[in-house]
A and B are shown apart, each in its own frame.
Chain A
Amino acid sequence: MSRRRFNSAYLLTLPALAGSALFMIYPILFAVWLSFHRWDMLSDTRRFVGAANYVRVFSNASFLQVLSNSCVYMALMTTLSVALALLLALWLNENSIVKNLAQSAVFTPHIVSMVSVGILWMWIMEPDIGLLNYILDLSGVQALLARFGQEKIMWLESEKSALFSLVFIGIWKSLGYNALILIAGLQSLPKEIYESARLDRAGRLRTLFRITIPLLSPSLFFLLIVNVTASFQVFDSVHVLTRGGPLNSSNMLVHWIYQTGFEFYRIGEASVGAVVLMLIAGGVTYANFKLLSRRVHYR
């Protein structure tokens, strides 16, 4: 590359570089810097404290629970949402009026705000007057559960179920988007490949595992990365539906950072959370690239 072109390349990317420096690189560095300081809000003084914030955060049992909640949420969300989206995409991958309507129906949750549908889900999951328990009651499922000693499920209000209820709502919200990406991927596959598979006497399952999934791997890989990062960053559903409770059982990283920083004004510790979040999300994404990118077939 000639020197001239090298220079103009930097010049042309300067606006984008300036933007990301201001809004990404500076905040990241600032958060890392803050995580080693104690910021007294009243006197507005920042004092270097070394690794004290890290020690304090990691010896805090509730933070460790938050960390484990986040990992459970991420693992369940990513696998279930992508797997269900694949099944849905395989089923909806046809142009008929019914299937187009169904496509729109599963996509709708993606475009509505979590804050407004959160209110709706609070009502649906309300144990006594909510729709969900009403349906369980009506369909006889509740009677069946009662036989195994399972009382009315408290959904968002029980330590046992709150996190899983959030997973359920998260899947409901992201399923449509994931399915849409996969449907688009499916429709870009050449139909001759499937005709070849028929001529090669491949059965349905063999076609799915040997043809469709490998050919869909770029879309699946994209969804994996996007869902991992998005589920580590979940905030709104926690904030609206449970506030991390009961007893911290559904609290997750970003919500914990918010509470620690803006409710308890412990900015240094909150910054530790932010650094941990960045390292985990970055680490998992890097591991995915390392482990899986060789198995992804771009055409």
Chain B
Amino acid sequence: MLASDRRYGGESGVARIEFHNVTKVYDGKNRVIEKLNLKVEEGSFTVLVGPSGCGKTTALRMIAGLESVTEGRIFIDGADVTDREPGKRDIAFVFQNYAIYPHMTVRQNIEFGLENARVPGAEREEIVGSVLEMVGLQEYANSLPSKLSGGQRQRVALARAVSKKPRVFLMDEPLSNLDAKLRNQMRTELIELHQKLGSTFVFVTHDQIEAMTMGQQLVIMDGGKVLQKGTPREVYASPNCVFTAQFIGDPGMNVHPLGDEAMFGFRPRAARFSAPEGGFVRMGGRAVTREILGADTLYCFKTPYGRDMVKSELDDVAPGDEVQLYIPVGAFAFFEKDGRRVADPERERTLMERLRSRHE
């Protein structure tokens, strides 16, 4: 379907994206993505998140067709698009550095793609007007990008993306070049945009806070593999591996070895300074640093296991103070030596007993 066949305004299409055993190898030896199987639901706001080099950007660029696929197939709405030109996939892509044409005015930037898609002049005019209104840049229509701030440039890029009425919006760290305040504002704007258009959004970031606040679905990646997929609540509350546990959360989970064949972990929020009701594990700790965040205070404690982060509403523990930390039994997570979460409840109970016995 041509972009011109649809009207702007909530009627942009939605699409489901599927990776079937997709592998990407650079220069014949550098395996960036290994047998990736992933389904992005239609209309969802899906965030691919992971450290740099985890393959998230490559995966996104393969959906767009900017990167070739070494093995496997990619489907959009059931149609195999693996070998289709980027311009013919009915997608829009927003780059980290905006990638708007520096020699064209804001209007020309948006019109360029529409002209290529042979959208008639009057309709182009209408689309440009409405997308510029949407991003609040009407008065800059005839300005060159060099006259705009970073945030305004990224809005031009967004307007250009929206003007194509794509079924899928692909965004590669679009907020990374903006300052902190603007980034927060743009987050909200992107969420609103998604609600308004209802299209499928795939968003790549290395920032777990960005992922948690924006995503409906999180896809956590590391080493070219998908480690976990779920809602922000799911991946926070029940991480299925050490990597996710430590990557998600601000800061991530404290994880330490428990004997030779297992690990235990607890969230910084779970630790208390006084004994809670029910079972708990108690350990001594000396405060090393204290960061007052406002409502909460973040401490780093030196404990028998090394260093542990604790987030608390209390801010009266000073660096150097010796305190007792109490962690409720229910707050612990256990992992096998290879990083997988312990799945068997029986084994979990055994490990819990072993941990408690150390702290009798």
Contacts and interface: CB of A to CB of B under 8 A. Distances in A.
Nearest to B111: A200
Contact of B99 (A195, A206, A215, A299): A195
A192 interface: yes
Contacts of A200: 87, 112-113, 116
Interface string B62-105: 00111000000000000000000111100111010101111100
Contact of A201 (B93, B102, B103, B116): B116
A199 B93 CA distance: 8
A214 interface: yes
Nearest to A295: B103
B117 interface: yes
Interface string A182-212: 0000000010110110111111001000110
Give the interface size class of chain A: 10 to 19
B113 A195 contact: no
Contact of B87 (A198, A210, A215, A299): A198
Interface in B256-308: none
Interface in B38-75: 64-66
> Would you call the interface of chain A mostly helix, strand, loop, or mixed?
helix
Contacts of A192: 95, 97, 99
Contacts of A195: 66, 86, 93, 95, 99
Interface in A209-238: 210-211, 214-215, 217
Contacts of B113: 199-202
B330 to A, nearest CB: 48
A202 B95 contact: no
A290 interface: no
A203 B92 CA distance: 17
A199 B103 contact: no
Contacts of B146: 299
Contacts of B100: 196
Contacts of A215: 102-103
Interface string B109-130: 0001100110000000000000
Give the interface size class of chain B: 20 to 34
A3 interface: no
A193 to B, nearest CB: 6
Nearest to A203: B116
B103 A214 contact: yes
A196 B116 contact: no
Nearest to A296: B103
Interface in A253-299: 297, 299
Contacts of B99: 190, 192-193, 195-196
A202 B112 contact: yes
B95 A196 contact: yes
Given A199-B113, A201-B117, A297 B103 contact: yes
Given A214-B103, A297-B103, A198 B97 contact: no
A154 B348 CA distance: 96
A199 B64 contact: yes
Given A199-B113, A202-B116, A193 B88 contact: no
Contact of B102 (A198, A203, A299): A299
A299 B102 CA distance: 7
Contacts of A203: 116
Contacts of A214: 103
Given A196-B95, A198-B86, A200-B87, 17 more contacts: A190-B97, A192-B95, A192-B99, A193-B99, A193-B102, A195-B86, A196-B93, A198-B65, A199-B92, A200-B116, A201-B85, A201-B117, A202-B113, A203-B116, A297-B103, A299-B102, A299-B146
19 contacts: A190-B97, A193-B99, A193-B102, A195-B66, A195-B93, A196-B93, A196-B100, A196-B101, A199-B66, A199-B86, A199-B87, A199-B93, A200-B87, A200-B113, A200-B116, A201-B87, A206-B116, A215-B102, A299-B102
> Which 5 A-B pairs have CB atoms at the shortest separation, nearest pair first?
A201-B87, A200-B113, A192-B99, A297-B103, A201-B116
